[in-house]
A and B are shown apart, each in its own frame.
Chain A
Amino acid sequence: MSEKEPTGTEAATPNKAGNSVPGLDFNGPWKYDAAPQSSDQIDLREQYDLFIEGHFQKPEKGRYLPSVNPATEETLSSVAEATQQDVDKAVAAARKAYNKTWSEMKAADRGKYIFRLARLIQERAREFAIIETMDGGKPIREARDVDIPLAAAQFFYYAGWADKLDYAFPGRKARPLGVAGQIIPWNFPLLMLAWKVAPALATGNTVVLKPAETTSLTALKFAELCQDAGLPEGVVNIVTGTGQTGSLIVNHNDIDKIAFTGSTEVGKIIMESLAGTDKKYTLELGGKGPNMIFDDAPVDQAVEGIINAIFFNQGHVCCAGSRLLVQEGIADRVLQKLRDRMETLIVGDPLDKNTDIGAINSEQQYNKISEYLELGVEEGAEMYQSSCTLPEKGYFCRPTLFSNVSQSNRIVREEIFGPVLTIQTFRTPEEGIEKANNTPYGLAGGVWTDKGSKIFKVGSKIRSGVVWANTYNHFDPTSPFGGYKESGQGREGGLHGLYPYVELVPG
């Protein structure tokens, strides 16, 4: 079939090179009006303290970090920087709560508190979504429809487990571990909090949580919910700060378990720090997800899937489908459709409901992505970016596609964590699988084909913790998530997500 065959709905328009090719008419009548989500109702304090033992407390050293809206570069608020004494206090509070209340409480009651948290998030969902968008730069559509509902659902799911743990582990009884130290990233701030806090509480542990320094606000808002829910003091403690605060948590002697989501680089440092101790740990680390498109795939759906796989949340997704692997016969057609589709993506104000790609989370991340874009060109890859205009202020990056890459290119091997896709081709399924697995990572991968048997064969060969067949980037509280190889250890979500927070003893 000719790759230039018009599909009927597309008009033949001249492209930039002036050749007449079928494509979408980007200069046509379809313009989007601004559809801003109002942030008038949002009530942010100028300064947030640490949430320890049920109260907001000033940091001992009195230091605060600005929290910047990456779409406007304006400071939204400032958050405390926790140092050793603050972390000590938080851990002591968590220990006390563990000993005195939380582990003594009836499991069903523990569950009821967690149900309350789920409900409170639902009630204030829009507020949380707006703050998430302002603080982190993600499109309001995603914060509103994905992050916040999933966070509420996570609490709702694990709440129900609290008094049913005897059914979860065949032949064993579960005991809580004690105090869990949890360190979460900036890409899905409230959702990652929910992934960590909900299972820890349901299994009877107490927590000291550190949100990322660029996106602490929804965690601090969540602290308010803990107060509203009447959660016993010290069960949840939130200490804000940089990686330095994180390492204080990792190295604290009175913490029994570390749960970390972030880069593989930092994950390895944490493993080293924990060497020789009996602390348990789970790590959810980086990825370089292969997204495999077979020549019998429904191409239009696959193109949507590719877009969602890499441009969801500006590509700040550890399981992003950042390596596109297309079967050779349809490669040109997929590439053309992909470019056309990229051209229609709206990059801009995260609070606009039509926005597809929001702001890069921070200046630091923006610089990192920019370095990779330069590197890709230096490595000899062919770069394509959509022609959209970017806002003058804020950190924005055009959706980017690199073709003509090889397996050894750094842009193919390293996690960029931005809206940057590389494309490789393969001829046989075996070659595709070989390429898919040629990485130290193993978090997630996609398979696109109309043939059911192929899905299961390829899916079973991809060495990664999640396989999306004819879809990508779906999440659910009941669905375990986590990596093979250097993408981490342990699972979050589902029944398997209970294991990291319990010790199993003979039943």
Chain B
Amino acid sequence: MPDRVNVLKTYKTYIDGAFPRTESGRHYKVYDREGNILANACQCSRKDVRRAVVAARGSFPGWSDRTAYNRGQILYRIAEMLETRKGQFTEELERTGYKAKRAVAEVESSIDRLIYYAGWSDKYQQVFGSINPVASSHFNFSLPEPTGVVTIWAPEEQPLLGLVSVIAPVITGGNSCVVLASETYPLSAISFAEVLNSSDVPAGVVNILTGSRTELLDPMTSHMDVNAFFYTNPDIEVQQQKQIDENGALNVKRIIRKPMEDWQDKEAKSPYFITDFQEIKTTWHPVGF
């Protein structure tokens, strides 16, 4: 007999700052690399996507209106929270089959990645904005502004570092997002939602769903109130890519694909991940007495 019966964690979704189950009531089993059952995950539906998009849209005006400094501090706060739970995340990755050393490296890189983007929050505007010397008496400047609501397929491998690497640049730039976690290894994503929830990230800015990519491809890419779709699969089937692009055409969605094999690669982070989800706005202002 064990001294104590452990309390197992129920993995749910993260929508609008709360942890509801999928409205569909469906689940799928999550296995480790040996084929042992780890947990049940929510198999989210079209309706969950729609709810998450509503939450993301609702949070967008407030989040994009935060000062760059404030967003930077919140990104930094996420890193702090993750640091304090390093053990939990390392263990969770190990349970999926990671070797201890690799698990630690992934968690540490995830923390560092958040710090990296926290530091960009009030700099990319300076690096990628411009003052334009127009040939008339106007003061003219161009600044990046967030694109809006972004739906994201988190990378299938590297379930924590991949996830952090796609969320951080999107929200650093003032967007809100709906993320579909790695289908095979979704547990870190839901645990990461707990970190977000305790990091002053306003409700709705990041929404995390679990479920089938094939099933959710359509709702995530065809939704008319979504401004951009972001995916990184290096090995996507042409037919799927085509469907994503075609759905994008419905409302001129920005379809951003960044195939990435390894999120530890030095090219796996850059300010260009931020600017992919920015729109340049140019303002003209007359100059005179």
User: Among B243, B267, B271, B284, which residue has the most Cβ atoms of chain A within 10 A?
Assistant: B284
Determine which of A272, A276, A470, A491 lies in contact with B238 in the assembled complex, contact meaning CB atoms within 8 Å.
A276
Counting CB contacts under 8 A, is B133 at the interface?
yes
**Chain A, 465-492, contact with B by CB distance < 8 Å: what is the 0/1 string?**
1111111001010111110111111010
Counting CB contacts under 8 A, is B9 at the interface?
no
- Using known A-B contacts A479-B132, A480-B132, A494-B142, determine if residue A268 contacts B281 with beta carbons closer than 8 Å: no
Per the 8 Å Cβ criterion, residues 101-152 of B in contact with A are 127-128, 130, 132-136, 138, 140, 142, 145, 147-148
- Given A272-B245, A275-B241, A467-B283, 20 new contacts (CB under 8 A): A153-B135, A268-B252, A275-B249, A276-B245, A285-B252, A440-B251, A455-B285, A460-B145, A460-B281, A465-B279, A467-B284, A469-B285, A470-B286, A474-B136, A480-B132, A480-B142, A484-B147, A484-B281, A494-B282, A496-B142
Per the 8 Å Cβ criterion, residues 34-83 of A in contact with B are none
Listed by A's residue number, 27 A-B pairs whose Cβ atoms lie within 8 Å are A170-B128, A172-B272, A267-B252, A268-B249, A268-B252, A269-B249, A271-B248, A271-B249, A272-B245, A272-B246, A275-B243, A275-B245, A459-B283, A465-B280, A466-B284, A469-B283, A469-B284, A471-B138, A471-B285, A476-B134, A478-B132, A478-B135, A484-B281, A485-B227, A489-B252, A494-B130, A504-B272
Q: Chain A: which residue is nearest B238 at the CB level?
A: A276
Q: Chain B: which residue is nearest A467 at the CB level?
A: B283
Chain B residues contacting A488 (CB-CB under 8 Å) are: 252
Counting CB contacts under 8 A, is B254 at the interface?
yes
B133 touches A478 (CB 8 A): yes
A480 touches B282 (CB 8 A): yes
Closest-CB distance, A321 to chain B (whole angstroms): 13
Chain A residues contacting B133 (CB-CB under 8 Å) are: 478
User: What is the size, in residues, of chain B's interface with A at 8 Å between Cβ atoms?
Assistant: 41
Counting CB contacts under 8 A, is A171 at the interface?
yes
Chain A residues contacting B284 (CB-CB under 8 Å) are: 466-469, 471, 474, 479
* Interface SS of chain B: mixed
**Chain B, 19-40, contact with A by CB distance < 8 Å: what is the 0/1 string?**
0000000000000000000000
A274 touches B245 (CB 8 A): yes
Q: How many angstroms from the CA of A275 to the CA of B247 in the assembled complex?
A: 9
* Interface SS of chain A: mixed
Counting CB contacts under 8 A, is A122 at the interface?
no
A171 touches B138 (CB 8 A): no
Chain A residues contacting B100 (CB-CB under 8 Å) are: none
User: Among A285, A482, A494, which residue has the most Cβ atoms of chain B within 10 A?
Assistant: A494
Q: How large is the interface on A (under 10, 10 to 19, 20 to 34, 35 or more residues)?
A: 35 or more
A466 touches B252 (CB 8 A): no
Chain A residues contacting B280 (CB-CB under 8 Å) are: 465, 480, 482, 491, 496
Counting CB contacts under 8 A, is A506 at the interface?
yes
Counting CB contacts under 8 A, is B67 at the interface?
no
- Using known A-B contacts A271-B245, A469-B285, A506-B267, determine if residue A494 contacts B135 with beta carbons closer than 8 Å: no
Q: Chain A: which residue is nearest B283 at the CB level?
A: A467
Q: Chain A: which residue is nearest B135 at the CB level?
A: A476
A494 touches B242 (CB 8 A): no
Counting CB contacts under 8 A, is A336 at the interface?
no
User: Among B127, B239, B243, B245, which residue has the most Cβ atoms of chain A within 10 A?
Assistant: B245
B281 touches A465 (CB 8 A): yes
Determine which of B242, B252, B285 lies in contact with A275 in the assembled complex, contact meaning CB atoms within 8 Å.
B242
